[in-house]
Amino acid sequence: QVHLVESGGGLVPAGGSLRLSCAVSGRTSSDYVAGWFRQAPGKEREFVSAITWSSGGASYADSVKGRFAISRDNAKTTLYLQMSSLKPEDTAVYYCAASEGWRRGSNVNDYNYWGKGTLVIVSS
């Protein structure tokens, strides 16, 4: 069982920055990929970014590429999402997810474990 807990959400003005964290615990030795998804009110959950634990290789949705950066700490127990140049369209609940697979998938079904989310509101 893998447990994921997001933190760092909050209210930020457009153009600002925010860093989200995801604490990972449990049996993670076979979890090769972790990522971030987000869900705005009335919308489907959408892919934001994913990272391969071993290499640090990352994938990004077109909507956030160049503005967001995914990373993990040296012990590979915490996942981060550094968000910059935030837009009102980025407002959503952000979810941390982990996969037991090896591909940095962009579909919610590619991931086995989920956190409960942290709310990000970007004001204009």
> How far apart are the C-alpha atoms of 69 and 49, rounded to whole Å?
8
Q: What are the 10-residue block averages of pLDDT along the chain, 124 residues in total? A: 94 98 78 91 97 92 98 85 98 95 91 96 96
Q: Give me the amino acid identity at 78.
A: T
pLDDT for the residue 74: 64
115-to-36, 53, 123 alpha-carbon distances in Å: 10, 17, 24
Look up residue 120 and give its amino acid.
Answer: V
- Residue 31 confidence (pLDDT): 59
Which DSSP string do the residues of 89-101 spell out, in sequence order?
Answer: GG-EEEEEEEESS
Q: What is the pLDDT of residue 53?
A: 86
pLDDT at 6: 97
Encoded amino acid at 99, one letter: S
Q: Which amino acid is at 52?
A: T
H or E stretch at 5: strand 2-7
Query: CA-based Rg of the chain, rounded to a whole angstrom?
Result: 13
State whether the Cα torsion 62-103-107-3 is positive or negative.
negative
Interatomic CA distance for residues 12 and 35, integer angstroms = 22
